[in-house]
Amino acid sequence: MAGLYRILWLEEDYLDAFEAALRVRGYEVDRAFFLSDAVGLLDKNRYDLLLLDVMIPIEGPDVDLGFTSDNTQGGDRSGLSFYEKYRDRLVSLDLPVLVYTICGDIPDVKKSFVELGLKPENYIDKVDASNVNDLLQHVDRVLRHRAPVSDKYSEA
């Protein structure tokens, strides 16, 4: 039997409708509310997709990893800083990233992600994808031709 797709969702807001819709669709979802939470989950688990918000608040353990208000523009671009810092690791894990934001300067932020190697179609404006079905379509599109990690690796 094919395994479930596993999604790591780095998002500080409680978006229960989105999470419930992903689970109903058959996705397994781990939530990270802080950057350090995401790093810890990436250390322990394998994922098929990283859903990454751009604006994540900075907490103490995040500072220990090198994230500060100064280098994340007050947390407004902490997701961008996270992607920049861990991009090579995400690539080595073959982990696609789907970025979404309601950030004020969307074209500039999108350009920064694209310059770091993110495909433009993997960047979503939350306002344009503000309903559950839109988010599901983007997730389905990214995962459509991938085998779940549970099919790729046997559990030790």
> In tens digits, what is the pLDDT along the chain, a chain of 156 residues?
246 899 999 988 767 778 888 989 889 999 999 999 999 999 999 999 999 988 888 888 999 999 888 777 777 788 889 999 999 999 999 999 998 877 656 678 888 889 999 888 888 876 555 677 888 888 999 998 888 887 665 444
Give the CA diameter of the chain: 48
* pTM for the model: 0.86
pLDDT for 123: 83
DSSP H/E element including 139: helix 132-143
Q: What is the pLDDT of residue 108?
A: 81
How wide is the angle at C-alpha 115 spanned by C-alphas 120 and 76, nearest 5°? 85
**CA 78/CA 80 separation, integer angstroms:** 5
Query: What was the pLDDT predicted at 2?
Result: 46
**Which CATH number describes the domain made up of 17-147?**
3.40.50.2300
The CA distance from 98 to 49, in Å, is 7
In this prediction, residue 151 carries a pLDDT of 66
